[in-house]
Structure 1
């Protein structure tokens, strides 16, 4: 009898482990098939979800990837995103008002700062809470190779060095090998990469006024700019974060409202190294490691070597 009970317990434990494993966040392996062939029924939602274990998440996208129903989910307190298996969660529609006490909604819709009137440039989160620095790099569409030396220098600062990469869909489409190299840096533990959205096409016309340039160009489809980039990130094996950086840091009130309606946090910067002031404690530092702005990378390297880059380097989820 004891032997039978023991075997039954082992079988029950194995079943529980199997269920737990099947409900772990999905890991999407990059494949040869196109994004359009792999990612279907991609749609914005806002749902409050709970699992059998009592975990809670907010779902902001539903989709099918390689035939499996998935959620792009956000931990409402840590802001960490994950691709969750829809079958493992009970979800119901929610609203911003219902979730307003969560850290996520407070980051998404911060109270207006009377000392900082609305501006065309640098909307959203431009300075982080606390000490240290938040290193971010923009990967705008570029024909030039990735500045890998910049990432090697970052990795030399210690294991799991955090960096946020605001990546455009156009860059991913042209730089598959560079994207795979960055993924390996993350998987090896050298870097801790958060993938922010930087639009798909990153429209820009040289010499045109900001008020008619970038995503303010006539005919821009903002949902396409957002969702096509997210789908590319997912199809290439990564998970989009909740952050969106406007190309050129240029936006108006309507654009800001649109990305917030899609439950994305606008990410600016108070230390664009090639153009602006040096970083101070809490600064969101901006460089372009896409081959287009070597001067910013040289300034970053100088700050590291002279000890003038505020420490510690912190993940962007800690900034709001």
Structure 2
């Protein structure tokens, strides 16, 4: 009898998980007005029997997941939607990113609002067997908690990192829930393919046979499954891309984000810099350099003359009228 009860319980648990699965996840392009602002619907999916839209505010670059029944959206082509909202910061940023798509490395937006006295921090979480470098986040909170709470940070998240670092992911989510961090979740592909001996032109996302649809959409599905709302930003693994790949990414409605201050490579930050470090345990030099940067700016931080900036707000300000 006990075995039968356990079996029934297991079947119920499996059925419950199946019902919670994200189903029929697909690109879906439509224009709408939501809360008196222009939005573009980018994805449609079903969960727990309800159809949802994943959409972006064209002015603030904030994303939301909303029941489809609550949004009166008009389906249109991606090209028509870009023409319709061509003067908004979102479409301007997409156009700028596409125009900077011919370099092998660092395509897309690499700098935020130039008048800012501070930086926008992006932390890449690539697949790794090492634990999350939590010192990055505890140092951020320690330095800024008294004058800037929550502290904004953008985390570039890969699908395989989520698979093997659920405890770390839950810890990050708890810091956000408790009001210490304000996180922008950036798509960093699912597999983050990399082979050290292969030339960049055939490496990372440029590996022949790479399924771009899977790399992009499966990462978004994994985020949503973990209770995260994906942002509209995308970071290329290794910052490596070409014009064709950039076009595919912007065709998903995503904004490629590079960096003008990859600290582990010796690049120095400037006002408005999009700083890049790795928090997956594989780049201790970059983490150490960032903590030293925080310490060097301590007096300016206390006087609110050097702050952390939200990636969404920084890019939106850069491209507003």
Question: C-alpha separation between the residues in 1 aligned to 2:172 and 2:221?
Answer: 18
| Pair 1:35–1:168, CA change in 2 (3 A) | farther
Query: For residues 55 and 283 of structure 1, what CA distance do their matches in structure 2 show?
Result: 28
* Correspondence 1:203-214 to 2 at 5 A: 203-214=193-204
1:71 to 38, 53, 57: 53
1:105 aligns with 2:91: yes
Q: How many aligned positions are there?
A: 287
Unaligned stretches of 5+ in structure 2?
1-13, 316-321
User: How is 1:76-87 mapped onto 2 (pairs within 5 angstroms)?
Assistant: 76-87=58-69
- Out of 241-250 and 206-215, give the one that drifted further: 206-215
- Pick the aligned partner of 2:102 from 106, 115, 118: 118
Query: Deviation per CA, 1:75-105, whole angstroms, max 9, x where unpaired?
Result: 1100000111111111102321112111111
Taking a change above 3 Å as real, the CA distance of residues 117 and 102 of structure 1, as seen in their structure-2 partners, is: closer
In structure 2, the partner of 1:21 is none
Q: Which residue of 2 aligns with 1:252?
A: 242
Decide whether aligned partners of structure 1 residues 215 and 112 sit closer, same or farther in structure 2, where only a CA change above 3 A counts.
closer
Structure 2 residue aligned with 1:96: 82
1:162 aligns with 2:152: yes
Deviations 1:215-266 (A, max 9, x none): 0001100010000000010110110000000000000001000000000000
Cα distance in structure 1, aligned partners of 2:32 and 2:88: 14
Q: Are the counterparts in 2 of residues 60 and 71 from structure 1 also a CA contact under 8 Å?
A: yes
Per-residue Cα deviation, 1:263-315 (whole angstroms, up to 9, x for no partner): 00000000000013110001000000101101100000111111189821100
User: In 2, distance between residues paired with 1:262 and 1:176?
Assistant: 27
After superposition, what is the alpha-carbon deviation per residue over 1:33-72, rounded to whole angstroms, capped at 9, x for unaligned? 7689610011112211235x64542110000122211111
Q: 1:234: which partner in 2? A: 224
* TM-score after normalising by structure 1: 0.85
Quick one: distance in 2 between partners of 1:144 and 1:111? 33
- 2:306 is the alignment partner of 1:311: yes
Q: Is the 8 A contact 1:35 1:231 kept in 2?
A: no
